Structure 1
C-alpha cells in the first residue's frame, strides 16, 4: 500500500509540474537562441522571460493543479483508516 501511494505521488508530481517545466524549457530555449543570434549576454534577459512564462502557466493551469493536489490529499487522508487497521 505504501508503494502504491508513493507511485501515485510521483505520477501526480509529474502531472502537476510538467506544464510549468515544459513552458519554461521552451522559453529558455528560445531566449538562448535569441542570445546566440544577437550575441547579447545579459543574465536578466534569460531570467525574466522564464519567470513571466512560469507565472502565466500558473495563472492558466493553477486551478487544475490545485484540484489535482487537493484530490490526492483527500484520497490520502481517506486511506489513513484502512492503513492503520
Structure 2
C-alpha cells in the first residue's frame, strides 16, 4: 500500500463518518437552536427542557435514517474488504 492508497482510504473513512453522523447532528442542532430560542423568548431556563427533546429527536432520527446509515457503513466495509482481498 502506498501513500495514495492510504490517503484514499482515510478520505473515504472521513466521508463515511460525516455522512453517517450527519442526520443526527443536524437534527440536534436544529432542535437545540429552537429550544434556545423558546427559552430566550419565555425566559424559562429549565435544564431538562434542553435534553429531553433533543434525545427524543435524535432517537427518532436514528431510527428513521438507520437503513441509510447502515448502507453507507456497509459500502465502506465492502470497499475495505475488497482492498484487503486484492492485496491493496
TM above 0.5? yes
Alignment pair present for 1:27 and 2:23: no
Displacement of 1:12:
1.0
Counterpart of 1:54 in structure 2 is 58
Counterpart of 1:3 in structure 2 is 7
* Aligned pair partner of 2:16 in 6, 12, 17: 12
Unpaired stretches in structure 1, ≥5 consecutive residues: none
Moved >2 Å (runs of 4+): 81-84
Displacement of 1:83:
3.6
- TM-align CA RMSD: 1.1
d(CA) in 2 for partners of 1:32, 1:73? 39
1:11-62 per-residue CA deviation (whole Å, 9 max, x = no partner) reads 1111111111111100000000011111111111000111011001111101
Alignment pair present for 1:43 and 2:50: no
Unpaired stretches in structure 2, ≥5 consecutive residues: none
The count of corresponding residues between Structure 1 and Structure 2 is 84
